[in-house]
Amino acid sequence: MATLRELAKLDMAKWQNFNIWRGRLPHWRADDVRYYATFRHKRELTDPERTVLYIKLMRAQRRKFDYLILCVLPEKTEMCFTVNPGPDGEPYELSDVLEKAKRQAGAAIIKRSGERWPPFSGESYDRIIRDEAEFADTWDKILASPVDAELCEDPAEWDTLFVPDAPE
């Protein structure tokens, strides 16, 4: 029977240019993979604050990221995406893109609210999605999250949920 460490090595072997770096949390990177990322908000965001964050995150769509799903809830933000190559052919560093959007949204929220600090946690949690089953499960959970949180009755009603190619 294989150990968890041996299974992890098998997963890593299938990814190109795999590497790990560590901030407060570990961050795995590889070429041509799908990612899941999330971050908590220090307090619940108001509707206008959610919209500000959503707009800042959406600026990366089709340029730096291809979102497969994105949902900004009052207490957290979750997304699945792929990372696009930059002008030099190297993929954008996803934490740079996410942290920039959080900084810009945080600055706008601070300006409006008069708070001293942005309402987001400092570091985002991200991971490589390993297979189709995990992707389907994660995507379904994100899609259902506004309904599960009793914020709406149908995901299509949630204004800060982005599903590419979804009917309007």
More confident of the two residues 7 and 19:
19
Residue 38 main-chain phi, psi, to 5 deg = -150, 155
Pick the closest to residue 154 from 163, 141, 144, 164 (CA basis): 144
Looking at the domain that runs over 27-162, which CATH code has it been given? 3.30.70.1290
Q: How confident is the model at residue 4 (pLDDT cuts 50, 70, 90)?
A: very low
Give residue-wise pLDDT tens across range 77-88. 999 999 999 999
Cα–Cα separations (whole angstroms), residue 107 to 53, 76, 155, 166:
10, 18, 29, 31
What pTM was computed for the model?
0.86
Burial zone of 99 (CB within 10 Å; 0-12 exposed, 13-18 middle, 19+ buried): middle
42, 98 Cβ separation under 8 angstroms: no
Give residue-wise pLDDT tens across range 120-158. 877 889 999 999 999 999 999 999 999 999 999 999 999
